[in-house]
Amino acid sequence: MKNNNSIFGWAFALSLLMVLLLLGDLLALHDIGQDYVSPKVLEDIPTQISDEIPDWASTKMEWIFVRVSFLLKLIITPVIIIALAKTVKQS
């Protein structure tokens, strides 16, 4: 029974991590929605831009966070599912 509690504890902790990653995704995607300027968007606008676009407009860090978060969730989710399935099977 102690082993089951440990597995449920890890599953709970990893689930909390996934919730935090989802919240981070929301914040990053909101920021991307506010600041992102792609070359495709600028090509579609019939306006001449005289200055160079600032680097923050590309939202590189936000895109990195979204990609890393996705990969972590892709790894963590099967771990939780397998651990819980093994626990239920042992019970």
pLDDT, tens digit, 9 for 90 and up, residues 8-43: 888 889 999 999 999 999 999 998 888 777 666 666
Geometric angle at alpha carbon 80, from 78 and 81, rounded to 5°: 60
Distance of alpha carbon 9 from alpha carbon 21, whole angstroms: 18
Distance of alpha carbon 89 from alpha carbon 43, whole angstroms: 57
28-87 pLDDT per residue, tens: 999 888 877 766 666 677 777 767 777 777 788 888 999 999 999 999 999 888 888 888
So where are the chain's domains?
2-90
0.85 cut: is pTM over it?
A: no
Determine contact, residues 76/17, Cβ cutoff 8 Å.
yes
User: Could you identify the residue written with the tokens 């978060």?
Assistant: 69
